[in-house]
Structure 1
C-alpha cells in the first residue's frame, strides 16, 4: 500500500517531464498556444514547454491521394507538425469550358511550400482544400478566356498565369506557389477524332508537297545536267572547228609561202619566161593521173586550151638545167 502511495507521484512526475519536452525534427515546426492564444513557433531541436498551460496547435487538413487503382482518395489528417518542405498536390480531373464552348478534362499538378506557419494555421481552416478550390476556379477562368486551339498549344502560358494568380492569392495564407503543371488536357472524343483526321491530312499534304518538291528538284537537276552537257559539247565542237580552221589556214599559208618561193625561184631562173605557165603545167601534170584512174583504155577528151600547156614542158628542161648550173 505504501509503495502504491509513492508510485503515483513518481508516474505523475515522469508524465509531467515527458509532456514538458518536445523534439522537433528538421524541416518541421510546431505552433504552441498558451492558454488558447498563440505563444510561439518551435523550430528544429529540443524544446521545453509548460504542461497543461502550453498546448500544441493542431490543424485538420484534407489531402487528395491517388491509390493503386489510379482513383483519387480524400483523407483528412489532424496535424501537429507542419512540414516546411515543398509539397506536391495532384488535383482530380475537372471539366472546364473554353471560350468557343468546348468542354475539356484537365488534370493539374501544384507544387507549393509553407513560408509562414502562423498564417497557414490561423488565416485558413483547411489549407490543402482551400488551395484546391482556388486552383480549380482559377483554372476555369484562365481556360475560359482561350479557345480550344490556344489552350492546347499554350501550356506554358497557362502554367505561368496560374502560378502568378495562385501565388498572389495564397500569399496571405503563408504559402508560396512554386510551380503549376497541366498534366493532362483531354478534349472530347469527337474533337480528338477530328484533330487526328486533320493531323493525318496535314501530314499527307506535307508528304505530297515534299514529294513534288523532290521531283521538281530532280527535274531541274536533270535539265541543268543536259544543258551543261550540250554547252560542253557545243563548246568542244566550236573549239575543234576553230583548231581545224586554224590548221587549214596555217597549211594554206605554208602552201602559199612555198608557191611564192617557187615563183620567185622561177622568176630569177627564167627572167624572160612567165612562171605562171610553169605552175599551171605542174598543176596539170598532178591532176592528169587522177583523171586517168579507172578509165581502162577509154577515150579521154582534153580541152584544146590544155594542149597549149604542153608547150611549156619543153622549157622545163631548160629551167632545171639553169637551176643545176647555178647550184654548181
Structure 2
C-alpha cells in the first residue's frame, strides 16, 4: 500500500512538472530561453516545451512600441541660459537577445543617452533658436539615439521634446514681449479695419453720388423729351388747325365759284372781310382800291340785303 501511494505521488508530481513545462507565448511577445545558464533560443508566439531543470526563461520581451517619459533635464544653451527640458522617447525592441544581453538596465541607458545627446545639441544653439527649432532638435536626437541603441536590439522611432522651461526672468520677459507683440498686431488690425471702413464709406458715397447724378440726368432727359413731345404735338395741332382752316376756306371758295356769285354777292363778301379786318387789333386799315366810295358800297349792301329778304319771303 505505501508503495502504490508513493508511485501515485511521484506520477502526479511528474505530471504537474510536465504540465508546468508547457509554455504558450502570446502575440507580440518573445521569450529568451537559457539552457544550463547560456542563451539557448528565442521563443516566438505559439506553444513551446521547456526541458525540466535544464531550460530557463531568462526574459519575457514585448515587441510592441513603447513610450517612456523622462524627467526634466537641465541643459545650457550657447548663450549660457539654463533651461529644463523633459523628453518622451518612442522605442521598439527588434532583437530580444541583444536587448537581454546587450546592456544592463536598457531603459536607464536610453535615459542617460538622451540627456547627454540633448545637452550636446542644445549647447550649440542659442535660446531663441532652441525655442523655435523643436523639429530640428527632435530629428537630431532621434538619429543619434537610434544609431547608439541599435547594438542593444532597440530601435528608437522618434523623440519629442515635451516641455522647454527657461528661467523665470526670461519667461517674464518673453511674456511681456508676446504681450507687446499682440498689442502691436491688435493696433495694426484695428488700423486696417478703420482704413477699410473709411474706404467702404467713401466708395458708398461715391456710388450714391454717381446714382444721384445718373438719376438727375435721366430726369432732365425725360423732361426735355416731354417738352419736345409737347411742342411737337402743339405744332402738329396748329398745323392741323391751319390745314383745316385753309381747307375750309378753299372749300368755301370752291362752293362760291360753283355757285357763280353775282357782283353784288362779291361786294357783300368784301364788306364782311373788311368788317373783320376792322374788328381786329391792327392799327392800320387797308381799303380796297376798286371801291370808289363808301356811299357806293353802302348802296350795294342795301340792295343786296333787299334782294335777300325778297327771296326769303318767296
TM range (shorter): 0.5 to 0.7
What is the 5 A alignment of 1:1-328?
10=10, 17=17, 21=21, 23=23, 25-26=25-26, 27-44=28-45, 45-51=47-53, 53-57=54-58, 80-257=59-236, 309-311=282-284
SS of equivalent to 2:104: coil
Task: Tell me how far 1:54 sits from its aligned partner.
Answer: 4.2
* Structure 1: runs of 5+ lacking an equivalent: 58-79, 271-280, 286-306, 316-328
> TM-score when scaled to structure 1?
0.64
The answer to whether the 8 A contact 1:113-1:175 is kept is yes
After superposition, the Cα gap between the structure-2 partners of 1:150 and 1:311, relative to the gap in structure 1 and judged at 3 Å, is same
The answer to whether the 8 A contact 1:95-1:106 is kept is yes
How far apart in 2 are the matches of 1:265 and 1:311?
28
After superposition, the Cα gap between the structure-2 partners of 1:256 and 1:92, relative to the gap in structure 1 and judged at 3 Å, is same
Aligned length, in residue pairs:
253
> TM-score when scaled to structure 2?
0.66
SS of equivalent to 1:170: helix
After superposition, the Cα gap between the structure-2 partners of 1:43 and 1:140, relative to the gap in structure 1 and judged at 3 Å, is same
Superposed CA offset, 1:99-157 (max 9, x none): 33322111111122211111112222231121111111122233333333333233334
Larger Rg: 2
How far apart in 1 are the matches of 2:189 and 2:77?
35
Query: Which deviates further from its counterpart, 138-147 or 106-115?
Result: 138-147
After superposition, the Cα gap between the structure-2 partners of 1:55 and 1:247, relative to the gap in structure 1 and judged at 3 Å, is closer
The aligned residue for residue 311 of structure 2 is none
After superposition, the Cα gap between the structure-2 partners of 1:245 and 1:42, relative to the gap in structure 1 and judged at 3 Å, is closer
**Larger helix percent:** 2
* Structure 2: runs of 5+ lacking an equivalent: 251-276, 289-314
How far apart in 2 are the matches of 1:221 and 1:136?
59
The answer to whether the 8 A contact 1:24-1:42 is kept is no
The aligned residue for residue 299 of structure 1 is none
